[in-house]
Amino acid sequence: MKFVLFLSFLFVFSICQNLKGRTLLEENVIAIINSDDELALRNATKKLWKTGGFIYIDTPVITITKQAVDIGGSLGGGIIGVKLPNGQYPRFDCKPLRKKYSGYSCLDIAGNNLKVQNLILENAPSYGIFVAGKNNIIDHVITR
């Protein structure tokens, strides 16, 4: 029992350290991406599809090279950008997709009750966001 409590404390402590004093607004955090790591983002989105929950982006940029980032399911959750110390918000740079695909977006929302907040989606091959579903929230998101 003490070991489980210790691990829980370490998990909460690591989240607090990763966010450098910033607070989480949503519960059920499934991942905090704090580097330009597309694979970590994709693994987190797979978990979101299965369990719901929120992915926090706490890095200046994530370069998207393989295909659009897909979030979905009907369990709720989404992706939230954490305001950076310089006052800017995280970016998904989809420029590498331009060479491979046309008619693609940078972010696909294919589900219900999902939230995307505080992100900049840039250099998409065709359009920034594709939405299919209902009761989704897109708040403070810039596509350019």
Residue 22 lies in a domain: no
**C-alpha separations of 131 from 33, 42, 108, 142 in Å:** 23, 18, 6, 15
Residue 55 lies in a domain: yes
Residue 112 lies in a domain: yes
Residue 12 lies in a domain: no
Residue 50 lies in a domain: yes
The number of folded domains in the chain is 1
Instruction: Residue 57: give the domain boundaries.
Output: 27-143
Residue 69 lies in a domain: yes
pLDDT of 32-82, one tens digit each?
999 999 999 999 999 999 999 999 999 999 999 988 899 988 889 999 999
Residue 14 lies in a domain: no
Structure tokens at 60: 């200046």
Of 14-23, 102-111, 133-142, give the lowest mean pLDDT range: 14-23
Structure tokens at 38: 């597309």
The pTM score is 0.79
Give the pLDDT confidence score for residue 48 in this predicted structure: 92
